[in-house]
Structure 1
């Protein structure tokens, strides 16, 4: 943590990119819609120029990355409002990713909702997530297991060949 004062929560809706530590086109989400201490809602509108676009749309498996980036955005908001910068995190795994569509259609907004299930002091956490279409019909659901090291130094200490 830094000694800088806490920053206020973002004015919503807003661009989600400042809260996700992905750069150079890898931030796949568009808009931060709502955020709280234990949840985040975001939006993505699949586009034909999307990194993962096919002639049919965006493959259903990309929804898991959207959910993971929503978790990253939640952590980023928590960090920034606490006076820090968004940090690196890892998707350790998922349970029961169920996607009800093989492709996400272009130009059809999708709402991403993630909710914190638990967060341990050691950086491990779990989130429930879902993707909804513009009529609030469920497109996909999953539970995501994540890890966020407390610092870059902590991450380096667990790298193979490192010595604490």
Structure 2
């Protein structure tokens, strides 16, 4: 597996990059990892992360998948959209500082228009979260954004 720094696979920058590394990426699956550190953008006073951040960790893992696939194909990493989720469940209210979290996403649907569905799981010490993410990455992101920006001003 080619290994690129996570910052080269995500259309995020700086403190918005919440995952530490891509562990595995295949045609239908992605696995990422992070260690919860105090002082982050979404950290609580005790250094933990609220459980709802699990959804963003899953979304960034899917974005890393898309970025990896783009890089393999010699294409630029582009913006994608999280359209929504179904049935996000988590057995804890927060992810404690120092926790090592592993995120796995499996692509269950992808169409030619850029719509996709990923079944995601987040695991750590005594931690389990899961959700189905609906995502969208239009084939021509720049022109798609331009079209929608122009129609919003009409």
**Is the 1:149–1:155 contact (alpha carbons within 8 Å) kept by the matching residues of 2?**
no
**Is the 2:54–2:122 contact (alpha carbons within 8 Å) kept by the matching residues of 1?**
yes
Deviations 1:117-144 (A, max 9, x none): 111111111000000115xx65100000
Q: Choose which of 103, 127, 139 in structure 1 pairs with 2:118.
A: 127
Stretches of structure 1 lacking an aligned partner (at least 5 in a row): 1-8
Kindly indicate which of the two structures has a greater share of residues assigned to helix.
2
State whether structure 2 residue 140 is matched by structure 1 residue 148: no
Across the two proteins, how many residue pairs are aligned to each other? Answer: 151
Q: Which residue of 2 is the match for residue 47 of structure 1? A: 37
In the TM superposition, what is the alpha-carbon distance from 1:82 to its structure 2 partner?
0.3
State whether structure 2 residue 10 is matched by structure 1 residue 10: no
- TM-score, normalised to structure 1's length? 0.86
Stretches of structure 2 lacking an aligned partner (at least 5 in a row): none
**Is the 2:82–2:136 contact (alpha carbons within 8 Å) kept by the matching residues of 1?**
yes
1:8-157 residue pairs with structure 2 within 5 A? Answer: 9-11=1-3, 15-56=5-46, 57-134=48-125, 139-151=128-140, 152-157=142-147
**Is the 1:93–1:144 contact (alpha carbons within 8 Å) kept by the matching residues of 2?**
yes
Q: Which moved more, 1:48-57 or 1:149-158?
A: 149-158
Q: Distance in 1 between matches of 2:113 and 2:148?
A: 13
| Moved beyond 4 Å, runs of 4+ | none
